[in-house]
């Protein structure tokens, strides 16, 4: 079994064991991104903990290069860890962490849980990295916001190397994490609602569904890339699409009449408000 000092030393030397505790949607997305990437220092061993033998076997079939565990064997997997990625559902966190508490020895914990603050998680280790990412991470085009406890700052570079493979990671103060939970974590669902609306409009005007879906997806993908690569404000790029008296300005005014802009902005606000309550006990 590793000890506190040896785990921290292993992290500093870059010869560390990574245990993913909870391989649900986000835990698996980050795992897939790490396995599909190459960086240094890379984990010497990756162990994934699940709640059942069936889910453990499925995970092993999908990712043959990892070790898996389930049930009581998760205690040993946690004990071997120098670094833990906590990827369970937020409402399950207390139960899971209490069940493996005897195997914890102040490892670095990277939490993917919405609402759980660094202070909440420091019940289990001083070394906490709080990360909010999203489901596109599975495809290497996700976004992540990272906050670190003071004790974990020494591992800043390692945390960013582990999280960057999901697409892009940026570091922000923890006070911004609820907003990041909304914009980054919930954002894909908001974008998918907008995409679905574009598809519906295309179908209404006679496009086949498959064609409308492909067009809408590529329009959103291309527009996002244009914003990122040009560095220009979205409003400036939007204006460049609007021909006087043309189709685009006509459609935009109808959307403004319907409150599309304020509806989306208020949706982000409401999701952030909900996120602020998730970790409260």
Q: Is 21 annotated as a binding residue?
A: yes
CB contact at 8 A, 23 and 50: yes
**156: nearest Cα among 7, 4, 9, 12:** 12
The 10 Å Cβ neighbour count of residue 203 is 14
Which residue(s) pair with 172 in the sheet? none
Please provide the DSSP assignment of 109-131 as one string.
EEE--TT--HHHHTTT-S-EEEE
Determine contact, residues 133/142, Cβ cutoff 8 Å. Answer: yes
Q: Which two tokens stand for residue 179?
A: 């907003």
Which DSSP letter does residue 100 get?
T
50 is in an annotated binding site: yes
Helix, coil or strand: residue 21 = strand
Tell whether residue 36 is among the known ligand binding residues: no
Please check if 17 is assigned to a binding site: no
Cβ atoms of 94 and 33 within 8 Å: the answer is no
Contact 100, 47 (CB under 8 A): no
Is 24 labelled as part of a ligand binding site? Answer: yes
Distances (CA, A) of 241 to 34, 169, 247, 267: 38, 30, 10, 26
Helix (H) or strand (E) holding 83: strand 83-86
* Residue 22 assigned ligand-binding role: yes
- Residue pair 127/155 in contact by the 8 Å Cβ criterion: yes
Q: What is the C-alpha to C-alpha distance for residues 142 and 197, in angstroms, rounded to an integer?
A: 22
| 18 annotated to a ligand binding site | no
**Which residue ranges are tagged as binding site?**
21-26, 50, 74
**Which residue ranges are tagged as binding site for NADP(+)?**
21-26, 50
**Which residue ranges are tagged as binding site for NADPH?**
74
């Amino acid at each position: 079994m590793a000890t506190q000092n040896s785990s921290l030393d292993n992290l500093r030397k870059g010869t560390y064991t990574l245990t993913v505790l909870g391989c649900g949607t986000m835990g698996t997305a980050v795992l897939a991104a790490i396995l599909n990437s190459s960086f240094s220092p890379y984990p010497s061993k990756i162990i994934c903990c699940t709640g059942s033998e069936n889910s453990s076997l499925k995970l092993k079939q999908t990712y043959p290069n990892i070790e898996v565990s389930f049930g009581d064997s998760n205690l040993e997997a946690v004990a071997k860890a120098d670094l833990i990625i906590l990827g369970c559902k937020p409402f399950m966190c207390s139960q899971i962490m209490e069940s493996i508490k005897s195997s914890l020895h102040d490892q670095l914990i990277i939490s993917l849980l919405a609402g759980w603050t660094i202070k909440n998680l420091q019940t289990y280790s001083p070394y906490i990295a709080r990360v909010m990412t999203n489901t596109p991470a599975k495809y290497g085009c996700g976004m992540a916001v990272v906050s670190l406890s003071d004790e974990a700052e020494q591992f800043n570079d390692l945390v960013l190397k582990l999280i960057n493979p999901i697409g892009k990671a940026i570091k922000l103060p923890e006070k911004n994490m609820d907003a990041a939970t909304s914009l980054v974590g919930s954002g894909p669902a908001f974008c998918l609602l907008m995409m679905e609306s574009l598809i519906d409009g295309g179908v209404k005007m006679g496009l086949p569904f498959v064609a409308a879906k492909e067009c809408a997806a590529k329009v959103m993908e291309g527009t996002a890339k244009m914003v990122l690569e040009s560095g220009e404000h979205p409003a400036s790029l939007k204006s460049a699409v609007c021909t006087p008296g043309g189709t685009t300005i006509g459609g935009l005014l109808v959307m403004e009449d319907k409150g599309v802009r304020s509806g989306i902005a208020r949706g982000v606000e409401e999701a952030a408000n909900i996120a602020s309550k998730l970790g409260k006990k």
